[in-house]
A and B are shown apart, each in its own frame.
Chain A
């Protein structure tokens, strides 16, 4: 009984040891991936081209407003805090990367009332928040569209400041109501610089909100802009990518506003039968390999463009299932994952995109 038939005790032990080692190695490998991904569950395959899905969130799931109302912006911090602009509800919702609700901050307040109405703005008020970004200290910069300014919070949601002053002309002028402030749709922060999109231009501030520069103008020429709705900065801070939304293109600029390249062509009108690389590009994000992810609301795809301006891949189809989008508006990158503000489906998704 002490011997398994045909094997010595030693052989049995060796076999067991090998099995154990294999199990241990497997566990270590699993542990490695588990920790690397911050405990994010294994992505599930979907029928959506190039997209594996991790989770979908339709809102905080608690409180007076448990559901999102057209979420338009998403950004994740290095330490895994997911910030979502819940545009219709005028607030920012915070989750962890496992999709667990943490908190909300910001509330509705009017900085530029129409005649007869009153200013209800107080620090931290939002009015149709759209795009957002983080600085190196984890502070949150929110494009507060109808208040014509950027609202800044610390990582916990305490209001810090706002700029530009919505009642003052910015630089040579902006598109805020009455010509003051900027009709800001998206922001990108890099080092001490904050880049913001206004209706026909990019406006640059310091993190403290001092006006630095502005470039871009309406028109159909190279580098001209028409309602840009997305902006991102390359890792080295040297390239500014802008979604030239109504022109159906993405343009890469130097920090001084000189054009490096552009992808997509301006539609020529109803008779234009060309397919076009991009339909309605909106939110942008730079991936860890330096490539650019573009949220295309009308082609219902996330599109990957290389840092040199070559279309590399397209992900997803229109739909309501995991990994599909419906008028998605923004994208953000966390490690090997992407977060997508899936506006039309009223949700935020964490997915993994192929290369």
Chain B
């Protein structure tokens, strides 16, 4: 590239010179010579790097794999639909008999990001910076991120709290560039083998006639895989979103490890009465300021983030799930003061830019993106004592 730029600037200089005619001809000759040289150099120069697979039309894969991707299409109905689109991520070449191969790892990230930079679907990475100026993926700045680096050097391969034995970090082989973490490590692009649907905090962008605020718009699988890549050996697969899902990678963060000492509820380790809490079933307050609880989803309001003290019947013998401490940043209130109420600052129920015109929906909010990025360190919902006081009384004195 440098070479061709050189030649063009030589040619170009001619146009800006005032003594036009002679200069022009001289420079044109020079330009010609350089251009010839440049073509020569370029034709010898080895291309920096090239895809070893350029995909072709991908037509064949549909014939062979038609049936195996007949999963619920979800909001992605469209983009994996046609033969050519298969080739965006897969290649028919060099495939073992009947198998499919993925194109270079960066493809998945680039494909997802084409839409999920916000322009064709919800923005995921980069949206916090767009709203706060702080980039959580930058280690020098505050906040937390499951970083997607897409680079050959120092990819993200260490899972903090991933070692089930000691509680420390574990090195994993993910599916991104150079074994780094990428979207398809947590999500299944095809929506195959995904967890049960759950009620998230954020509505999906939808044209559903039920309207944006309808519960069904909060209820989905988020295309989360039952077995995130690099799932700990102790896990068969996780069918419900909650602690066990996170612990598939972060097994060392389950209760009572040397390195981490807050008890955590997870089906894998739970021995108490009834069944373990999942995201869709935690003991949540029955209302603003209430001290009674009922089993329900953690999503859509703050009632599940508080555990009254003394604990209620539904809570006794239980411990919090990961998401009761790790979720989008918010302002929950205080268990002792019982200040939790529906009007409390809760950024996420500031719904999705409710349509001011019934036909013009919006796909907001665009900056609450747990567990991709968070304004708070370690993806904590609140910081310092504020967090602990959601469930514990301030020690006397």
Contact (Cβ within 8 A) B51 A318 = yes
Contact of A39 (CB < 8 Å), options: B14, B77, B80, B350: B14
**CB of A231 to closest CB in B, whole Å:** 13
A7-15, A155-163, A264-272: which lies at the interface: A264-272
Indicate if the CB atoms of A177 and B353 lie closer than 8 Å.
yes
Give every chain B residue within 8 A of A344 (Cβ-Cβ): 110
A171 to B118, CA, bound (A): 23
**A178 near B82: Cβ-Cβ < 8 Å:** no
Rounded to whole Å, the gap between the CB of A207 and the closest CB of chain B is 24
Beta-carbon contact of B114 and A178 below 8 Å? no
**In the complex, which residues of chain A have a beta carbon less than 8 angstroms from the beta carbon of B77?**
267-270
Determine if A299 is an interface residue (Cβ-Cβ < 8 Å): yes
Q: Which listed residue (B1, B49, B73, B361) contacts A200, Cβ 8 A?
A: B361
Is B81 on the interface with A (CB-CB < 8 A)? yes
Residues of A within 8 A of B39 (CB): 44
- Which one of B54, B62, B78 contacts A317 once the chains associate, using CB atoms below 8 Å? B54
Contact A172 B15 (CB under 8 A): no
Q: Which of A113, A229, A271, A317 has the most CB of B within 10 A?
A: A271
* CB <8 Å contact, B350 and A178: yes
A354 interfacial by beta-carbon distance below 8 Å = no
B365 lies within 8 A of chain A by Cβ:
yes
Interface residue A2 (Cβ < 8 Å from any Cβ of B): no
- Given contact pairs A173-B356, A176-B353, A217-B359, A269 touches B81 in the complex (Cβ within 8 A): yes
Tell whether, in the assembled complex, residue A218 and residue B359 are in contact, meaning their CB atoms are under 8 Å apart: yes
Cα distance A241–B228 when bound, in Å? 42
Cβ contacts A88-125/B at 8 Å (1 or 0 each): 00000000101110000000101011111100100000
Q: Are A146 and B130 in contact (CB under 8 A)?
A: yes
**CB-defined contacts of B205 to chain A, threshold 8 Å:** 199
* B4-12, B269-277, B281-289 - interface stretch: B4-12
- A319 near B42 (CB under 8 angstroms)? no
Selected interface stretch from B119-127, B154-162, B260-268: B119-127
Q: Are A320 and B84 in contact (CB under 8 A)?
A: no
Most buried by A among B5, B47, B118, B130: B130
Q: How large is the interface on A (under 10, 10 to 19, 20 to 34, 35 or more residues)?
A: 35 or more
A40 interfacial by beta-carbon distance below 8 Å: yes
* A267 engages B4 (CB within 8 Å): no
Within 8 A of B (CB), among A271-289: 271-276, 279-280
Q: Is the CB of B8 within 8 A of A40?
A: yes
A109 to B212, CA, bound (A): 30
Residue pair B131, A110 in contact (C-beta under 8 Å): yes
Chain B residue at smallest Cβ distance from A326:
B110
Nearest CB in chain B to that of A100: its residue: B9
Q: Give chain A nearest CB distance to B302 CB in angstroms.
A: 15
A168-215 contacts to B, CB under 8 A, are 169, 172-179, 183, 185, 198-201
In the assembled complex, how far is the CB of residue B148 from the closest CB belonging to chain A, in whole angstroms? 14
Known: A41-B8, A42-B35. A31 touches B357 (CB 8 A): no
Nearest CB of B to A66, in Å:
13
Chain B 80-110 per-residue mask, 1 if CB under 8 angstroms from chain A, else 0: 1111110010000000000000000000001
Bound complex: CA A44 to CA B36 (Å): 11
Given A280-B79, A321-B50 in contact, is the A175-B131 Cβ separation under 8 Å? no
* B35 proximity list for chain A (CB < 8 A): 41-42
CA–CA, A175 and B356, complex, Å: 9
Residues of chain B contacted by A201 (CB below 8 angstroms): 360
B26 smallest CB distance to A (angstroms): 12
B66 at interface (Cβ–Cβ under 8 A)? Answer: yes
Question: Is A27 among interface residues, defined by CB-CB distance under 8 A?
Answer: yes
**Residue contact A58 to B1, C-beta cutoff 8 Å:** yes
Residues on A with beta carbons closer than 8 Å to the beta carbon of B133: 108, 110, 113, 117, 120
Indicate whether A246 reaches chain B with its CB closer than 8 angstroms. yes
- Interface contact B360-A174, CB-CB below 8 Å: yes
Instruction: Let me know if A272 and B81 touch, CB within 8 A.
Output: yes
Contact A273 B83 (CB under 8 A): yes
CB contacts (< 8 Å) of B123 on chain A: these are: 146
A273 and B70 alpha carbons, distance in the complex (Å) = 12
Residues A99 and B8 in contact in the complex (CB < 8 Å), given A110-B130, A179-B353, A217-B359: yes
B259 at the interface (CB under 8 A from A): no
* A348 CB → nearest B CB, Å: 11
Q: Mark B47-83, 1 if CB is under 8 A from A, else 0.
A: 1111100110000001000100111010001111111
Interface residues of B (CB under 8 A from A): 1, 4-5, 7-9, 11-12, 14-15, 24-25, 28, 31, 35, 39, 42, 47-51, 54-55, 62, 66, 69-71, 73, 77-85, 88, 110-111, 114-115, 117-121, 123, 126-128, 130-134, 190, 205, 207, 345, 347, 350, 353-357, 359-367, 375
Q: 8 tightest CB-CB pairs across the interface, nearest first?
A: A173-B356, A267-B78, A267-B81, A146-B130, A98-B12, A218-B207, A269-B77, A173-B357
Apart from A145-B118, A276-B82, what 9 extra A-B contacts exist at CB < 8 Å? A44-B39, A57-B1, A110-B131, A113-B132, A114-B132, A130-B119, A175-B353, A218-B359, A327-B110
